């Protein structure tokens, strides 16, 4: 009787251990998966390595890549106007300066690609708003390799997503937060450039944003409906990007954007989005946007479309990209369409 009870309780304890092991195993698997995107790699992206005259970049990339691993707090965007709280430059032991461009040791200077030698139509797909989720980044990295990733600074996984993308040979651009018409949309998020900033304040915030997303070759705007229609603010921003050897892709969130004329005047390498893939992320709307993209590619031969890591967008993009390649469209990184 006693022995039977003990056997039963032993059997019960056995099942309990098996269940516990399964739960712990699942939890460990989840954690490992969350951490499986690698830290910054120590080699430049393949597309940089491929380009002539960029050989020194590899050596230069390393210190900054390592420096980024620890992350860093965003500076107080208004440090200048608030009476000079310590800023990113001071923290790095560099005196803040507006006259000198910051070191560009981690970046290749961007030079617009020569005109296409083949006559195939070309399309660049940029996926915006990355940095909050490793799952989303993984899904984007599963797409065709020419898809460009635009990473927002100071999000939980910004540095890691950029590093993982570079390690897989993808192009990364900074998705730079720019002031929208409705200030409430900023929601207190860090990294925004605002029209009311002083020239110094704007450069300081820009440098902090650039430092938060390693290996970028260019910048596109996040929001920005107010900022991009302000001629003074855009001249400051594009002048600063020019000094740092970066291109600007206008997300064109307002038809009043002065980015194109300002870039032309300053000689900044520039491109403009032609189409958003998922203003409405429902499958039917994304399918219609992709059909519109097909028409634009036929008409213009060279098109940049921006989408977001919505499951519906990525699910529709995968077959679209395969189809586009089969139909003779050349899918290229955004930088290839910058002029």
Residues lying near Zn ion in the complex (CB under 5 A) are found at 128-129, 222
Q: Contact 327/298 with Cβ under 8 angstroms?
A: no
The smaller minimum CB distance to Zn ion, of residues 95 and 255, is found at 255
The smaller minimum CB distance to Zn ion, of residues 207 and 278, is found at 278
CA distances from 64 to 134, 208, 210, 237 (A): 22, 13, 12, 23
Can you read off the two tokens belonging to residue 3?
């022995």
The smaller minimum CB distance to Zn ion, of residues 102 and 224, is found at 224
Task: Report the interhelical angle of 57-68 vs 199-212 (nearest 10°).
Answer: 90
The distance of closest approach from Cβ of residue 286 to Zn ion in the complex, given in angstroms and rounded to an integer, is: 17
Q: Contact 266/242 with Cβ under 8 angstroms?
A: yes
The distance of closest approach from Cβ of residue 221 to Zn ion in the complex, given in angstroms and rounded to an integer, is: 8
Using CB positions, name the residue nearest to Zn ion.
Answer: 222
Element (H, E) at 21: helix 2-34
Whole-angstrom distance, CA of residue 247 vs CA of residue 172:
12
The distance of closest approach from Cβ of residue 162 to Zn ion in the complex, given in angstroms and rounded to an integer, is: 15
The distance of closest approach from Cβ of residue 100 to Zn ion in the complex, given in angstroms and rounded to an integer, is: 30
Angle at 161 between CA 184 and CA 38, to 5 degrees: 150
The smaller minimum CB distance to Zn ion, of residues 268 and 306, is found at 306
The smaller minimum CB distance to Zn ion, of residues 222 and 242, is found at 222
The distance of closest approach from Cβ of residue 300 to Zn ion in the complex, given in angstroms and rounded to an integer, is: 23
Whole-angstrom distance, CA of residue 179 vs CA of residue 176:
10
The smaller minimum CB distance to Zn ion, of residues 57 and 271, is found at 271
Element (H, E) at 302: strand 302-307
The distance of closest approach from Cβ of residue 253 to Zn ion in the complex, given in angstroms and rounded to an integer, is: 9
């Amino acid at each position: 009787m006693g022995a039977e009870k003990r056997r039963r309780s032993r059997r019960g304890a056995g099942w309990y251990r098996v269940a516990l092991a399964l739960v712990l195993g699942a939890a460990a698997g989840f954690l490992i998966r969350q951490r499986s995107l690698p830290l910054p790699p120590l080699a430049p992206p393949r597309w940089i390595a491929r380009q002539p005259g960029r050989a020194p970049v590899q050596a230069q990339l390393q210190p900054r890549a390592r420096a980024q691993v620890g992350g860093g707090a965003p500076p107080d965007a208004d440090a200048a106007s608030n009476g000079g709280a310590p800023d990113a430059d001071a923290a790095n032991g560099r005196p803040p300066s507006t006259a000198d461009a910051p070191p560009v040791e981690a970046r290749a200077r961007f030079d617009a690609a020569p005109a296409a030698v083949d006559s195939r139509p070309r399309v660049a797909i940029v996926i915006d708003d990355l940095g909050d989720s490793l799952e989303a980044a993984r899904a984007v990295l599963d797409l065709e390799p020419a898809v460009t990733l635009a990473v927002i600074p100071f999000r939980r996984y910004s540095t890691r997503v950029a590093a993982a993308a570079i390690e897989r040979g993808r192009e990364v651009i900074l998705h730079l937060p720019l002031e929208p018409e409705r200030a409430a949309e900023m929601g207190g998020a860090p990294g925004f450039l605002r029209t009311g900033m002083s020239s110094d304040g704007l450069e300081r915030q820009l440098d902090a944003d650039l430092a938060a997303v390693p290996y970028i070759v260019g910048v596109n705007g996040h929001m920005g409906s107010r900022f991009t229609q302000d001629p003074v603010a855009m001249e400051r921003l594009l002048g600063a990007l020019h000094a740092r050897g970066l291109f600007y892709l206008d997300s064109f969130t307002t038809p009043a954007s002065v980015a194109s004329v300002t870039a032309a005047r300053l000689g900044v390498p520039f491109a403009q989005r032609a189409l958003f893939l998922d203003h409405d992320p429902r499958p039917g709307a994304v399918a219609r946007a992709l059909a519109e993209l097909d028409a634009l590619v036929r008409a213009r031969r060279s098109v940049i479309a921006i989408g977001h890591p919505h499951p519906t967008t990525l699910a529709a993009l995968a077959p679209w990209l395969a189809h586009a390649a089969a139909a003779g469209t050349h899918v290229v990184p955004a930088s290839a369409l910058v002029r």
